[in-house]
Structure 1
Amino acid sequence: MSTALRLSEKLEKLTWAGRTAQRLKEEVDGLLQAGSLSIPKEPGGWWHQYVCPRHHTELTFDSMQVDAAEFHCPHGCVIEGEEYHGAWLVFKHQSLARVALQAAAVYAALGEVSYASLSKRLLVEYAEQFPLYPVHPEAQSWMLKGRAFHQALTEAIWSTTLIRAYLLLRDEGVGFEVAEQAAIDAFLDLLAGSMEEYRHILIHERNNAENNYTAWLNASLSCVYAARGEQAALEELIEGQGGFKHHLSIGVKPDQMEFEGSTYYHVFVLRAYLISAEMAQRFGIDLYATTGAEGQSMRGMLEVLADLADDQGALPALHDGPLARDPYAREIAEIAEQGLAIYGIAGLAPVLREAYRQLGAAGGEQLEALLYGSGAADDGAAAALSPRSARLWPDSGFVLGRAAGNPLSFLADFGEHGGSHGHYDKLHLTLMHKAQTLTPDLGMVPYGSSMRKSWFAETASHNTVSLDGLSQAPHEGRCVRYETAESSVYAWLQSTDGYEGCTLNRHLLLTEDWLLDWYQVELSGEEPRSIEWWMHPVVETNASLQAWEGDQGDKILGHYLHDTQFHASYTLAAQATQATVFHTALVQPGDELLAVLTPGDAIDPSKPLTAMLHRRQDRRADFIHIYRAGSRAELTRNSANELVVTVPDHSGIPVRIQLTSEDGLLFT
């Protein structure tokens, strides 16, 4: 079924479709009135350089502008320079491609010829300009170079938007004059030659077929072959080395996560797959049910996202990737709409709603809804989701703990480093509450920021352990034990290669009432080292001063002289829901607790956060922390390897917990 037919059906059957088409029409009208729909004669640069060097926030982009020489930071900085202009041009070229598709969709929905004419004009102008762009002389040496952009990758993504606009117009019976069609044919030929050349380099010369680039080169070529009616070429692309089926088998783990362990690149690759499937469907080829060599599938990849999202629908920023930005929200919306419409995955409804919330379109009046939506996100079945269970992704190295009755849950990372998109974050813990994620992965700034490597990829920016202020080596941990019961989840995670002579064991026990985090560190050397347990809450810490002893300066919460408990709480207020999480730490003689001012999250690093640092100078450390929603839990240590958990305002029986070297935590 073509996109055009889907649009005509939506206008007849779905009340929101006409309203959405009208809003999209008004957006295009605004751009026309601003005179901003002119094709730049200069190619785009690298969008990752569009970041403030002082505040490390992404610079603002206004699609109403025809050109720009000054670029604005949200904090008021005004920046000039060729690299910023090149990055701005990336956004401009991408926005114009989107307008071409949006205008075609408005025409398909409302039948107003002027929008078909606008879409056709943009397509033809780009087709005529494309051969005039040089193979980019300013691209960085590691890049596969494009014409309209520094990177062939960006060019591939941009081209799929343009070609989908072209196909949508053709579906609607829009004709092109001989000269116009000749320009488009020449564009498709030149684009295909570039994409085929770069596939050969990646797959055969670099032996790197699993690269996320490959998925997008495939998507671009799928669009070219669909536009030219070349079924045999498309079938070869699907079946051949580095093609759709092969990439699905090597670019996605058997547990359905993209091989780099990054949520962002998971979405990135999945979107490319769905575009390839959309093009194949034009020839009657169904890729939507295709599986890889070990069962990998687009359905499975979509289900991963439904499982990973917090209760608000926000996806975690595992490894490289933004916490939130509008282009990413649109990508999430595009794949979530298809996951609901094609596969009926109800768990994607909160993910879609969160994406639209980030875009300021709570009603979903977006191009993604008109092109791909079925209205399933608003169905009662999607709104009343079944409780989600705990999950282990053994191949990718993530574990997610959920227990019935407990509003707290956790996500921990023990898997592969993640290559160039990995972080030094093994045994990182994300603590979530139904109202809000309390200690997220902080995300990644655009790669042009110096803070990419100096902070956001480093161990100390994650909720795990570092030694002597140094980051872990790139490595893979393991899950020693994972056990689920009716009302509890237990995960024992271990790392032995992060630091020479150091073993890290993190024991996470989630019951229906609380979450216990027992992080044990053992060093083989003779010299004590600074062992540092980090926690990065994104809300203010309310601490109990009564437990503190010794020097209490601006940053020192306490230097402890004997066993005691440290109490803190966090007030969560997200989307009109308020709750409190209570935190108790068992502190031993010689331990220090510090409040450390750190950069903020990747959305705005200039807004500082206050981290908790639990530190010990020793050859061994036990960091024992417990979290409970509503009121606090207490910890008592009977011996080195035995704890008792009690809840003072609760009539429940105290829980006795033993830590053994063979079985991990045992509790009664």
Structure 2
Amino acid sequence: MSTRRENVAHAAEGAGALETAALLRQDLDRLLAAGSLVIPQEPGGWWHQYVCPHHHTELVFRDEVVSETVFACPHGCSMEGEAYRGAWLVFKHQSLARAALQAAAVYAAGENVRYAEVAKELIVGYARQFPLYPVHPDAQGWMLKGRAFHQALTEAIWSTTLIRAYLLLRDQGVLFDAEEQAALDVFFELLATSMAEYRHILIHERNNAESNYTAWLNASLSCVHAARGEQALLEALIEGQGGFLHHLSIGVKPDQLEFEGSTYYHVFVLRAYLIVAEMAQRFGLDLYAAAGAEGQSLRGMLEAVADLADDQGALPALHDGPLARGPYAREIAEIAEQGLAIYGIVGLAPVRREAYRQLAAAGEGEAQLEALLYGKGTAAAVDGAPSQPRSARLWPQSGFVLGRVAGNPLSFLADFGEHGGSHGHYDKLHLTLMHSAGTLTPDFGMVPYGSTMRRTWFAETASHNTVSLGGYSQAQHEGRCLRYEATDAAVSVWLQSTDAYAGCKLNRHLLLTGEWLLDWFQVELAGEAQSIEWWLHPVVPPVAASEPVEGQVFPLQIAGAKHADGEATSFTVVELPVTARYVPSVQTDGLGAAQLNLTYPAGAGAIAHTALVQPGDEIVAVQTPGDSVDPSRALTAVLHRRMGTRADFIHVYRAGDPVAVKRVSADRVSLTVPGAEEKMVQLTQENGLLFK
């Protein structure tokens, strides 16, 4: 299909669009009635500091408030101080830029000229105010400094929203007088100068052209070039070093995922690319069909988003990034709308639906600006044919593997790839278990970076569904996929890590059939016996036979000071309460292993989890922090551990009734589903798990 499309950022037409425009108008009327569309004379700070230091939840922001000095935590805390004020100002400036774009879109959809004036006043007001902001004196040393914000990155994102509002007004014939245009010209020049300077620093001085910063500096400059009619400069930005095509080639892996292995930063960079493509289209240049040096493309990146989502449309929080957050949901909606409208990627329909569901849950109601700008005008529209069953997928360069088999409500996503740089987690061989009703064991995402829990929990190994030793996190390293085989009947995966701990080999074998998922995790140590810990973090506590435990804790070792090479030199102990010991049934196999049955609710049904508890093993419930949305709401983790130099953690999952599991020999297990014949699985040194 053609990827060319007129007026990508436009006001959609039709009854649905009119209804959406009316809702957006009502939302603007709310802000106008509150008198809140007033541009602060103070620049913004760093939004990541807008977090409660006690509960580690993001603080409340209300866009109808004109100014704020006391900032509320959802749990009732009140915060004061310059850091919180600066972070609040980031939200305020961003919300005003969005209000300008929203007003321009409402006007373009046929509403009253009053809304064109609202948008125009905000755009010109910021153009006049921008030169009065100093290059930020309070920015942290590592930041590229902005004027309206601590970071030039935040400034770049904010500027694209304002300039898209300006362009949309201009498309509708709205005129700016000489004085207004002069103020805009100064704004554009200051913005272009700083963005070009920071591009030079990143690309030439820091040799870091692949940074996600670069993508957004490019996006901001592309908007300036479009506003000023500078086609030659835009073409140079597309073709040059660190430009659109070069960044697509080095900032995205050949398997179509952003190089840091973070879902959030994948969406983040993709949004910037789509803005550049939108600006290029104004000059008749088609970047929607462009490809990087190894086939990277906007379509491929969007298809990866559709593939990564669970059956409800929720994206996994791989590496750094929020598990769920209102502004992030808007960003997801923005790319999903464009993926559906431009490329017809039907798999993005549930992603879009889930994004709008999250926005409604966050109190944003039915005001769907992204639907009006980029889609069919309403998120209720049905695009294309019904979704077909999705297949398994391997991302070999990024290091993720997704297991799906038609007919099985269960699926999995495992991580074996690169650490992810400053946005990576110590989580190799992590397993996300998904059910058609929702994800059971997600990666819990990342709190705002201003929270201390970024380093004391959410990046650590023990917060993921993988193996740790002695409560210490894995080293920063990369695992590998030794086998990936997907057929209509089964998906077999063998993942290995030899660099997580000195003298330690980790092998995770996964076999998904139409009935169940077998997870066989082997650990081999070359030295002395240690505590070997297998972690599972369900979003709901398991139902299982257990006995209470009092006064017992699990000591989590958090790295403190480090050498320049990253090796830790000191540790802080964080104690996690052990609350119960799970009691297996008395049934044993010929090797002395007992079977433990755990159950988790899933939609109208349940997920049965069967664990083999071998002599010397212990399985306990550990109270941990909650997810990154609200760490203060404790969760219950399942910890399967043993002391030794070798461990075989054998776990089986099934939607519905449990699987009877027996270990027949050191390398074979039998699995029996109620009403079906026994199946035998053998673990081989050559090919991993073989299914008979």
Structure-2 separation of matches of 1:382 and 1:76:
45
Q: Does residue 554 in structure 1 map to residue 555 in structure 2?
A: no
Aligned residue in 1 for 2:542: 541
Deviation of 1:379 (Å) = 5.8
| Contact 1:51–1:57 (8 Å) recurs in 2 | yes
Aligned residue in 2 for 1:42: 42
Which letter does structure 2 place at the counterpart of 1:624?
Answer: I
Aligned partner of residue 359 in structure 1, secondary structure = helix
- 1:326-365 alignment runs, 5 A limit: 326-360=326-360, 365=367
Aligned residue in 2 for 1:572: 602
| Contact 2:579–2:622 (8 Å) recurs in 1 | no
Of the structure 1 ranges 360-369 and 473-482, higher mean CA displacement relative to structure 2 is found in 360-369
Deviation of 1:645 (Å) = 0.7
Structure-2 separation of matches of 1:6 and 1:40:
28
Of the structure 1 ranges 338-347 and 368-377, higher mean CA displacement relative to structure 2 is found in 368-377
Distance 1:383 1:92, change over 3 A: farther
Q: Does residue 105 in structure 1 map to residue 105 in structure 2?
A: yes
Q: Does residue 494 in structure 1 map to residue 470 in structure 2?
A: no
Aligned residue in 2 for 1:414: 416
Aligned partner of residue 245 in structure 1, secondary structure = helix
Which letter does structure 2 place at the counterpart of 1:595?
Answer: A
Q: CA deviation digits over 1:552-600, x for unaligned, max 9?
A: 9833225999520111000123xxxx22000000011111111000000
Distance 1:197 1:6, change over 3 A: closer
Of the structure 1 ranges 218-227 and 478-487, higher mean CA displacement relative to structure 2 is found in 478-487
Structure-1 separation of matches of 2:187 and 2:65:
26
Distance 1:262 1:55, change over 3 A: same
Deviation of 1:17 (Å) = 0.4
| Contact 1:19–1:365 (8 Å) recurs in 2 | no
Q: CA deviation digits over 1:9-50, x for unaligned, max 9?
A: x33xx2110011111111111101101111000000000000
| Contact 2:244–2:273 (8 Å) recurs in 1 | yes
Which letter does structure 1 place at the counterpart of 2:607?
Answer: V
Distance 1:507 1:147, change over 3 A: same
Aligned partner of residue 522 in structure 1, secondary structure = strand
Aligned residues, how many? Answer: 655
| Contact 1:407–1:629 (8 Å) recurs in 2 | yes
Q: CA deviation digits over 1:122-178, x for unaligned, max 9?
A: 111111110111111111111100000000000000000000011111111111111
Deviation of 1:404 (Å) = 1.2
Aligned partner of residue 543 in structure 1, secondary structure = coil
| Residue 653 of structure 1, aligned match among 652, 657, 677 | 677
Distance 1:657 1:40, change over 3 A: same
Aligned partner of residue 444 in structure 2, secondary structure = coil
Deviation of 1:544 (Å) = 3.0
Which letter does structure 1 place at the counterpart of 2:534?
Answer: W
Aligned residue in 2 for 1:227: 227
Distance 1:200 1:480, change over 3 A: same
Structure-1 separation of matches of 2:8 and 2:302:
25
Aligned partner of residue 565 in structure 1, secondary structure = strand
| Contact 2:584–2:596 (8 Å) recurs in 1 | no
Aligned residue in 2 for 1:611: 637
Distance 1:151 1:507, change over 3 A: same
Structure-2 separation of matches of 1:162 and 1:5:
13
Q: CA deviation digits over 1:538-563, x for unaligned, max 9?
A: 012100349x9xx9983322599952
Structure-1 separation of matches of 2:470 and 2:64:
50
| Residue 636 of structure 1, aligned match among 656, 659, 662 | 662
Distance 1:539 1:409, change over 3 A: same
Which letter does structure 2 place at the counterpart of 1:115?
Answer: Y
- 1:466-481 alignment runs, 5 A limit: 466-481=468-483
Aligned residue in 2 for 1:160: 160
Which letter does structure 2 place at the counterpart of 1:496?
Answer: T
Deviation of 1:114 (Å) = 1.1
Q: TM-score, normalised by structure 1?
A: 0.96
Which letter does structure 1 place at the counterpart of 2:32?
Answer: L
Structure 2 residue ranges without an equivalent (≥5): 554-577, 587-591
| Contact 1:49–1:447 (8 Å) recurs in 2 | yes
Which letter does structure 1 place at the counterpart of 2:428?
Answer: K
- 1:250-329 alignment runs, 5 A limit: 250-329=250-329
What do you get for the CA RMSD once the two structures are aligned? 1.9
Structure 1 residue ranges without an equivalent (≥5): none
Structure-2 separation of matches of 1:27 and 1:380:
25
Distance 1:375 1:24, change over 3 A: closer
Q: What percentage of residue pairs aligned between the two structures are identical?
A: 71
| Residue 399 of structure 1, aligned match among 401, 416, 419 | 401
Which letter does structure 2 place at the counterpart of 1:635?
Answer: V
Which letter does structure 2 place at the counterpart of 1:667?
Answer: F
Which letter does structure 2 place at the counterpart of 1:542?
Answer: V
Which letter does structure 2 place at the counterpart of 1:455?
Answer: W
| Contact 2:223–2:279 (8 Å) recurs in 1 | yes
Q: Does residue 665 in structure 1 map to residue 689 in structure 2?
A: yes
Aligned partner of residue 124 in structure 2, secondary structure = helix
Aligned partner of residue 579 in structure 2, secondary structure = coil
| Contact 1:596–1:613 (8 Å) recurs in 2 | yes
Structure-1 separation of matches of 2:681 and 2:616:
24
| Contact 2:39–2:125 (8 Å) recurs in 1 | yes
Which letter does structure 1 place at the counterpart of 2:529?
Answer: P
Aligned partner of residue 589 in structure 1, secondary structure = coil
Distance 1:411 1:101, change over 3 A: same
| Contact 2:461–2:467 (8 Å) recurs in 1 | yes
Which letter does structure 2 place at the counterpart of 1:403?
Answer: V
- 1:455-470 alignment runs, 5 A limit: 455-470=457-472
Aligned residue in 1 for 2:183: 183
Structure-2 separation of matches of 1:559 and 1:239:
63
Which letter does structure 1 place at the counterpart of 2:33?
Answer: Q
Structure-2 separation of matches of 1:497 and 1:522:
12
Structure-1 separation of matches of 2:322 and 2:114:
37
| Contact 2:127–2:186 (8 Å) recurs in 1 | yes
Which letter does structure 2 place at the counterpart of 1:162?
Answer: L
Structure-1 separation of matches of 2:8 and 2:680:
63
Structure-2 separation of matches of 1:111 and 1:437:
42
Q: Does residue 28 in structure 1 map to residue 53 in structure 2?
A: no
| Contact 2:546–2:580 (8 Å) recurs in 1 | no
Deviation of 1:112 (Å) = 1.4
Distance 1:384 1:472, change over 3 A: same
| Contact 1:481–1:490 (8 Å) recurs in 2 | yes
Deviation of 1:485 (Å) = 1.6
- 1:523-538 alignment runs, 5 A limit: 523-525=525-527, 527-538=528-539
Structure-2 separation of matches of 1:320 and 1:518:
27
Structure-1 separation of matches of 2:9 and 2:210:
35
Q: CA deviation digits over 1:212-234, x for unaligned, max 9?
A: 00000000000000000000000
Distance 1:381 1:654, change over 3 A: farther
- 1:83-94 alignment runs, 5 A limit: 83-94=83-94
Q: CA deviation digits over 1:398-456, x for unaligned, max 9?
A: 00000111100000000000000000000000000001100000010000000001000
Q: Relative to total residues, which structure has the larger helix share, 1 or 2?
A: 1
Deviation of 1:383 (Å) = 6.0
